[in-house]
Chain A
Amino acid sequence: MSGAGGQVAVAAREVRRHFGALAAVDGVSLSVNHGEIFGLVGPDGAGKTTLMRMLAGVLRPDAGEIVLDGVDVLADPEAAKARLSYMPQRFGLYEDLSVDENIFFYAELFGVERKARKARAAELLEAAGMAPFRRRLAGALSGGMKQKLGLVCALIHTPTVLLLDEPTTGVDPVSRREFWGILYSLRESGVTILLSTAYMDEAERCSRLALMHEGRVHDCDTPARLKQAMPGVLFAVTAPDPRAVRAALEDAPGVLGALLMGDRVNLRADSAARAPELAARLHERGVAYGDIAQVEPGIEDVFVALTGAGAA
């Protein structure tokens, strides 16, 4: 990859991991630059967690190379661990310990000085809106607060690379906004963040994205460029019965894909000129619809278009 250290914070090359016959991660290469918020996007079962675990040095790949902040994770996982922080998908802190006790434990494991710990804990808890809950047992926190506590513990030793596996799954919108607030301020202080998510709206907040599907990374770019790279144009068709619309238009000429989105269907077509054609087809088949309008694609549309994943 592009030299040790330097620009690249996390570099993975041709990383593979099998579980029995299943190739959970099937030859993934990616490189994350310093100071990025890099998103690993994909549905459940795409291999995100397995990849994250290998990057964090808690699971060994069958093959491939991982270099994290200039340290070869496979050759010297312990040196890498001193520089990174990993927050697993499942809450990994001690529910029978209080907020402060959890923070103290992780600070000690990373050898954080007492003074630095106090100042940093106060600052992080303040930012997370958790200052009043320092003595509460972690098990008694809400889902969102647990995740924020996880983040505080992960950040207590000021890592250079932060690996977050689906950090906001099951977190309420307010906590999620606070969570992202912390991530943005971290990026400003130079921490590289690699996070996985199944939420497409969250993916838009990342500086760059890797679209992961069935153990492979398909495309890797900024959200805006990924959208541009999507072949064709996107129509949103509102309808009382979107399923009927999809059924009618799925195999119409020029239609590349149809995605059910609540009260509408997102249709990807080869050209903007197809709109009248599609309207005519719906008339012809007697399917009621409200409006056909060309729209900006979201990450979900891009994901489906680029990975060739079936209708989500």
Chain B
Amino acid sequence: MNLRRLLAIAYKETLQIWRDPRSLAIALLMPLMQMGLLGYGVSLDIKRVPLCVYDQENSQLSRGVVNRFTSSDWFREVAVLQTDRDLRAAMDHGTCLGALVIPVNFSRTLYMTGQDSLQVVFDATDSNTTNIATGYAQGIVAQLDADLAANWRGAHGETARSIGTVDLSSRVWFNEGLDSRNFIVPGVVAIILSLVGSQLTSLTVAREWERGTMEQLISTPVTGLELMFGKLTPYFVIGLLDAVFCLGAAAFWFHVPFRGSLFTLVLTTALFALVVLGIGYLLSVRIHNQLGASQIALMLTMLPTTMLSGYTFPLDQMPEAVRVISWFVPARYYVTILRSVFLKGSSLLDMAVPVIALLVYAAVIIRAAARAFRKSLD
């Protein structure tokens, strides 16, 4: 390899990126847009679910129950209903996502028999949200139950202590607020890097074929390796700058706690950048047209990165077959690494498996890309 030729290619490529609005937009605007979109838009937390209240009893106890719901962070009262028809209408019109229905004889039945039920109706069109909201409702009711039991025992001269109720206190580690943003934002970096890296490089060789510059280029002494590393160098730098921007935004703008070492983060990011750049380059070498190469790059990187990296959809909950496929998705390892570095402060050693997986992936892809290039018009 001749360094001078490699640098000549890198310099030429840099000039071309700088003068190509499309490449520049992908390199500079895409990360900004994606970070804003995914950082703000995607949230798995469901808070302040709109709730209608249909309190048929309107007693002290029932108002207390309503209060437990509406004073929580999870539900907010949007309407008070008077009739069954109202309930139907409210659900139909989407005024609320759920309705709390307390039956007429709620407190009487409860005191007489020691048990009664109240009803929470949910609009399950969005089943995921409904599942989570149901969980919240069950939590509130469980608490209500426990408090009522304690009251009842107190009223009957028994102390709560003597019965020995178990107080379950759960603690969540690493993401104390169970804030899904802390979970998602580091993963967004993987998405952006996949997108930018593979998109930009998928154009680079295909463009030379399309514009007819390849014929003259291959008539010079330049070698395939010089061409590859020369072309990848500026994109690698752009990829790292984008990553620094995104990681910075994650830490300082979205306030995702950062507990790991910067060195580990940069090293693993560089490794992942090599993988995605290599995929884009390989496609560009194989497919001699820009549109085709960039479409396939999108399909091969964006799709698996969003669906199969565990960035939003937990891999543990996927069918076995899909999980096996995910082992072949490089972003999977990078997302794991990002989260571990950010939230757990893991070291390279702690993450030996994903790091080695990325290393192997990078080596295989770069080697394949180097071998794929033919200095010939055939």
* Residue ranges of A at the interface with B (Cβ–Cβ < 8 Å): 53, 56-60, 77-78, 81-82, 84-88, 90-97, 101, 104-106, 108-111, 150
Contacts and interface: CB of A to CB of B under 8 A. Distances in A.
19 contacts: A56-B219, A57-B219, A78-B221, A86-B216, A87-B216, A90-B215, A91-B212, A92-B213, A92-B215, A92-B217, A93-B213, A97-B16, A101-B15, A105-B8, A105-B11, A106-B220, A108-B4, A111-B4, A150-B216
Contact of B12 (A58, A59, A105): A105
A176 B12 CA distance: 29
Nearest to B374: A60
A97 B19 CA distance: 9
Given A88-B216, A96-B19, 7 more contacts: A56-B219, A86-B216, A92-B212, A94-B213, A110-B221, A111-B4, A150-B216
Contact of B16 (A60, A87, A94, A106): A94
Given A88-B216, A94-B16, A109-B5, A58 B377 contact: yes
A111 B212 contact: no
Contacts of B213: 92-94
Contacts of A88: 212, 215-216, 219
Contacts of A110: 220-221
A93 B212 CA distance: 8
B211 A95 contact: yes
A242 to B, nearest CB: 39
Given A94-B12, A101-B12, A101-B15, A109 B220 contact: yes
B41 to A, nearest CB: 35
A81 B221 contact: yes
B222 A59 contact: no
B225 to A, nearest CB: 13
Contacts of A82: 221
B7 A108 contact: yes
Contact of B216 (A78, A92, A95): A92
A290 B212 CA distance: 49
B2 to A, nearest CB: 7
A57 B220 CA distance: 10
Contacts of A91: 212
Contacts of A97: 12, 15-16
Nearest to A90: B212
A57 to B, nearest CB: 7
A56 B11 CA distance: 26
Interface string B354-378: 0000000000000000000001111
Contacts of A56: 219
Nearest to B211: A95
Interface string B167-211: 000000000000000000000000000000000000000000001
Q: What 7 A-B pairs are tightest by C-beta distance, nearest first? A: A92-B216, A108-B8, A86-B219, A90-B212, A88-B215, A109-B220, A96-B19
* Listed residue (B2, B19, B221) with the most chain A CB atoms within 10 angstroms of its CB: B221
B376 A109 contact: no
Interface string B1-23: 01011011001100110011000
Given A82-B221, A110-B221, A58 B15 contact: no
Contacts of A53: 215, 377
Contacts of B215: 53, 58, 88, 90, 92
B220 A58 contact: no
Contacts of B5: 108-109, 111
Contacts of B16: 94, 96-97
B377 A93 contact: no
Contacts of A81: 219-221
Contacts of A104: 8
Contacts of B219: 56-58, 81, 84-86, 88
Contacts of A87: 216
A47 to B, nearest CB: 15
Nearest to A77: B375
Given A92-B217, A96-B15, A109-B222, A60 B20 contact: no
Nearest to B377: A59
B218 interface: yes
B112 to A, nearest CB: 85
